[in-house]
A = this chain, B = another copy of it.
Amino acid sequence: MRLTKFTDNALRVLIYAAVNSDRMTNISEIAEKCAIPRNHLTKVVHAMATRGLLETVRGKGGGIRLVRPASEITVASVVRTMEDDLKIIECFEPRCPILEVCTLKNILGEARHAFLATLEKYTIADLVDNRAQLKIAGWN
């Protein structure tokens, strides 16, 4: 029951940008500090910018920053935005013979709802409440 590496890394990027919200950051710095391979990170950041989670500013003094305050970005919204789909199991590949009458998908849907409802309660700001500790750990 894993989130994709894409979502995992998007969360790290947001936490890093929120810890350092007083300035711009950039791909090289995030790659090093968050231990994310640069190639993969470039794709993640591009997707995040396209999907409205990050702003990328070109030119001198440019870089990457949050589009809106960390307190307005729920963890659930990041998961919803970054996961390609939110299926818990794959009913269609191969197409399950009992698809039409199976009640498992409803139960898993209810469980997913409970999962996301929990993440709806928290924002990226909650994840950097301990900003000082995160900076001491090297995220400065």
| Cα separation A98 to B15 with both chains bound (whole Å) | 10
Asked if B96 and A35 make an inter-chain contact with CB atoms under 8 angstroms apart, the answer reads yes
Complex contact B1–A97 (CB within 8 A): no
What is the copy number of this chain in the assembly? Answer: 2
* CB <8 Å contact, A88 and B1: yes
Within 8 A of B (CB), among A94-115: 94-98, 100-104, 107-108, 110-115
Majority DSSP secondary structure for residues of A touching B: helix
Min C-beta distance of A93 to chain B, whole Å? 10
> What is the number of residues of chain A that contact chain B, defined by CB distance less than 8 Å?
53
- A interface with B by C-beta (< 8 Å): 1-3, 5, 7-8, 11-12, 15, 33-35, 75, 79, 83, 86-90, 94-98, 100-104, 107-108, 110-119, 122, 126-127, 129-130, 133-134, 136-139
